[in-house]
Amino acid sequence: MNITNVGDLPVAPQWFRFTDVDERTTLIEEPYVRPLLRANVWHLRGRERDLLVDCGLGVTTLVPLLRERFDREPVLVLTHAHLDHMGSAYEFSQVWAHPLELVDDPAPGSLHGPVLAAQLGLDEVLPPALLTARPHGDYDLETYRVRPATRTRSLADGDLLDLGDHALTVLHLPGHSPGSIALFDESDGTLFSGDVVYDDVLLDSLPGSDTEHYARSLRRLRNLPVRLTHPGHGHSFDRHRLHHLIDNHLHRPPSTVHRPPSTVHLTPHDSD
Neighbouring residues of 115: CB distance < 8 A, sequence distance ≥ 6: 1
Cβ 190 to Zn ion shortest distance, Å? 20
Among the candidate windows 25-33, 58-66, 154-162, 187-195, which touches Zn ion by CB under 5 A?
187-195
For Zn ion, the closer of residues 134 and 176 by Cβ is 176
| Residues that contact Zn ion, how many (by CB under 5 A) | 3
Strands (E), the chain: 17-22, 25-29, 41-44, 51-53, 75-77, 95-97, 153-154, 160-162, 167-172, 181-185, 190-194, 228-231, 237-238
- For 103, what's the count of Cα atoms within 13 Å in the CB-facing half-sphere? 30
Interface stretch with Zn ion, choices 56-64, 89-97, 139-147, 193-201 (CB under 5 A): 193-201
Pick 74 or 87: Cβ nearer Zn ion: 87
Q: Does 272 bind Zn ion (CB under 5 A)?
A: yes
Q: Which stretch binds Zn ion (CB under 5 A): 13-21, 122-130, 134-142, 188-196?
A: 188-196
Cβ-based nearer residue to Zn ion, 83 or 141: 83
Window 60-99: contact mask with Zn ion (x via CB under 5 A): ----------------------x-----------------
CB 182 within 8 A of CB 190: no
CB of 186 to Zn ion, least distance (A): 25
Per CB under 5 A, 38 contacts Zn ion:
no
* 204: contact with Zn ion by CB under 5 A: no
Phi, psi of 218 (to 5 degrees): -65, -40
Which is nearest to 161 in space by CA: 18, 42, 21?
42
**Using rule CB under 5 A, residue 195 touches Zn ion:** yes
Please give the C-alpha separations between residue 66 and each of 21, 63, 91, 133, in angstroms, as whole numbers.
Answer: 16, 5, 11, 22
In the chain, the amino acid numbered 71 is D
For binding to Zn ion (CB under 5 A), which residues are involved?
Answer: 82, 195, 272
